């Protein structure tokens, strides 16, 4: 099966004249509703905590979560940096660290340098953090440096969109209840997933997620999940299975290039996500 899949990817690449250097991976079994909502995925995870002094100057204290090296010798994974929002710290978004890493990713969750830092600075921090994972971190040997992605909440979600403009070589971004004061996102070419929440009065979808989603060109793979009966803080501290499932599927599809995850992202609701928790779902399904 593996040989057949790799062969067909190679033929597809030849057919469109693409270079044969694209890195893609199939880590773990094919997705099911249970696998994408699982509290813990199939990979054993190790955590390393870093003080502010131990991280690059663009961000503060952090945790790195990575597949336990002794168990996965010689394997490489995509890397993901996750930023918190206004007045939030690492512990507010830390729940996503082991949840995503246990699906076969190297993840860093960090505090920003200041609680009020603007989204664009959070974007710079996200790009620094994900490059740090690949080049300098305790898990650098496990990171495929061609596979980097960013995730963030609120001003950190605005930071995700800003990071994609700053660094179009990113493979994927997931913006959770993103908040920004401007909307230059017609320039985004990085595959982007956005989560909005209908009861969000801090970053109301009508002023933030919806116009950001609409601005991203329809030639860029994109998807927009609006959660019903959810507030701005649905992504904070208490694990949210729908946010996790959507984020994991987007990272699998675009950070790993694992097309086994396409079908689940092209159905409404997306695979594993409770229909009653979804107010709306849309995307460039022809591209996904």
Is position 120 an interface residue for ligand 9J3 (rule: CB under 6 A)? no
Judge whether 200 counts as a catalytic residue: yes
Q: Which candidate in 208, 232, 256, 258 is catalytic?
A: 232
CB of 276 to ligand 9J3, least distance (A): 26
Q: Which of 222, 246, 249 is nearest to 234 (CA)?
A: 246
CB of 122 to ligand 9J3, least distance (A): 9
Please name the residues in contact with 283: beta carbons below 8 A apart, sequence gap of 6 or more. 221, 222, 223, 224, 265, 266
Strand partners, 260: none
Q: Which is nearer to ligand 9J3, 44 or 202 (CB)?
A: 202
Is position 203 an interface residue for ligand 9J3 (rule: CB under 6 A)? yes
Q: Which is nearer to ligand 9J3, 143 or 163 (CB)?
A: 163
Judge whether 182 counts as a catalytic residue: no
Binding mask of the shown chain, residues 56 to 95, with x at each position contacting ligand 9J3 by CB under 6 A: -----------------------------xx---------
Q: Which candidate in 200, 208, 256, 258 is catalytic?
A: 200
Judge whether 51 counts as a catalytic residue: no
CB of 222 to ligand 9J3, least distance (A): 21
CB of 272 to ligand 9J3, least distance (A): 26
Cα(261)–Cα(78) distance, integer angstroms: 15
Binding mask of the shown chain, residues 10 to 49, with x at each position contacting ligand 9J3 by CB under 6 A: ----------------------------------------
Q: Residue 47 in contact with residue 98, Cβ under 8 Å?
A: yes
Q: What are phi and psi of 59, to 5 degrees?
A: -150, 175
CB of 29 to ligand 9J3, least distance (A): 36
Q: Which is nearer to ligand 9J3, 39 or 237 (CB)?
A: 237
| Single residue of 89, 202, 228, 263 touching ligand 9J3 by CB under 6 A | 202
Please name the residues in contact with 189: beta carbons below 8 A apart, sequence gap of 6 or more. 164, 168, 217, 220
Q: Which candidate in 35, 137, 154, 209 is catalytic?
A: 154
Binding mask of the shown chain, residues 144 to 183, with x at each position contacting ligand 9J3 by CB under 6 A: ----------xx-----------------------x----
Q: Which is nearer to ligand 9J3, 74 or 116 (CB)?
A: 116
Is position 110 an interface residue for ligand 9J3 (rule: CB under 6 A)? no
Residues designated as active site: 154, 200, 232
Residues that bind ligand 9J3 in the complex, under the rule CB under 6 A:
85-86, 154-155, 179, 202-203
């Amino acid at each position: 099966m593996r040989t057949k899949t790799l062969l067909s990817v190679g033929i597809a690449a030849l057919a469109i004249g693409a270079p044969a250097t694209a890195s893609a991976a199939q880590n773990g079994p094919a997705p099911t509703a249970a696998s994408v909502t699982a509290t813990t995925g199939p990979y054993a995870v190790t955590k390393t905590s870093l003080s502010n002094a131990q991280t690059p100057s663009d961000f503060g204290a952090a945790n790195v979560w990575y597949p336990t090296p002794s168990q996965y010798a010689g394997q490489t994974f995509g890397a993901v940096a996750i930023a918190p929002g206004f007045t939030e710290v690492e512990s507010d978004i830390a729940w996503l660290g082991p949840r995503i890493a246990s699906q076969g990713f190297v993840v860093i969750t960090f505090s920003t340098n200041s609680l009020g830092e603007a989204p664009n600075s959070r974007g710079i921090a996200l790009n620094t953090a994900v490059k740090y994972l690949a080049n300098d971190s305790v898990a650098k040997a496990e990171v495929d440096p061609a596979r980097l992605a960013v995730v963030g909440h609120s001003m950190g979600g605005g930071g995700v969109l800003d990071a994609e403009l700053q660094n179009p070589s990113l493979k994927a971004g997931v913006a959770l209840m993103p908040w920004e004061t401007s909307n230059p996102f017609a320039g985004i070419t990085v595959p982007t997933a956005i989560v909005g929440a209908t009861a969000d009065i801090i970053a109301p979808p009508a002023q933030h997620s919806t116009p950001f989603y609409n601005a991203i060109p329809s030639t860029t793979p994109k998807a927009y999940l609006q959660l019903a009966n959810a507030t701005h803080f649905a992504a904070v501290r208490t694990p949210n299975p729908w946010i996790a499932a959507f984020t994991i599927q987007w990272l699998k599809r675009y950070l790993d290039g694992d097309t086994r995850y396409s079908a689940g992202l092209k159905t409404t609701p997306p695979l594993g996500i409770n229909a009653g928790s979804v107010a709306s779902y849309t995307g460039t399904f022809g591209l996904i």
